[in-house]
Amino acid sequence: MSAPARILIYGVYGAGKSTLAARLAERLGLPWYPVDDLLWLPGWVEVPVARQRGRIEEICRRNRWILDGAYHGWRDVPLGRADLVIGLNYPRWRSFCRLLRRTLRRLVTREEICNGNRESLGSVLSRDSILVWHLVAFNRARRRMRSWQADPSEPPVLLFRSPAALERWLAGLPGRPAG
């Protein structure tokens, strides 16, 4: 397979979508558009879905991009243009452990997530906690990835069930183009 130019990375919270997006952007020389930056304003104010969709449509009209997620109000847009969907289909324990570790690190370091937003103890313990969302969304995300993979009308979908399988695939990709 030649190197894809429009890549959608999909998976449940904590699977490693953004980490993979950053690696692929560097490796393939593609622009990466972090989805969280497009969806959240300062103070964790959600961008209206119509505006989210407009932002995603503008990116997806380009010939080269990586997106690290796809949500209900505009999921069809990147799916309609992607050369490749990479599904991080790891076991629940693996992605939840990664998410928990990342969340605790962000609480301690006060690391900025997007647009000045940070994790807080209140957000982690709330009903809208990303940890709760992981538990709620896990099975739905896995079903969605498997459905896309089985549907010949969708772009090619590579499902990775372990980080080791992903690393083997990454090892076979071409390096960053010269120039």
Q: Tens digit of pLDDT per residue, the chain (179 long)?
A: 577 999 999 999 889 999 999 999 999 999 999 999 999 999 989 999 999 999 999 999 999 999 999 998 999 999 999 999 999 999 999 999 998 998 899 989 998 988 888 888 888 788 888 898 888 999 999 999 999 999 999 999 999 999 999 999 999 887 754 44
Residue 48 is predicted with a pLDDT of 96
CA 111 from centroid of its chain's CA atoms: 19
Residue 85 to residues 39, 64, 102, 107, 142, Cα–Cα distance (Å): 20, 14, 24, 31, 13
pLDDT at 123: 80
Instruction: Give the E-state strand segments of 12-116 in sequence order.
Output: 32-33, 40-41, 45-46, 65-67, 84-88, 112-114
Chain centroid to CA 162: 16
Q: Considering just the CA atoms, what is the radius of gyration of the chain in Å?
A: 16
Q: Tell me, yes or no, if the pTM score tops 0.85.
A: yes
- pLDDT for position 144: 95
Cα-flanking dihedrals φ and ψ of residue 99, to 5°? -65, -45
Q: Which of 94, 107, 118, 101 is nearest to 15 (CA)?
A: 94
Residue extents of the structural domains in the chain: 6-168
Question: What's the pLDDT at 74?
Answer: 96
Domain 6-168, CATH: 3.40.50.300
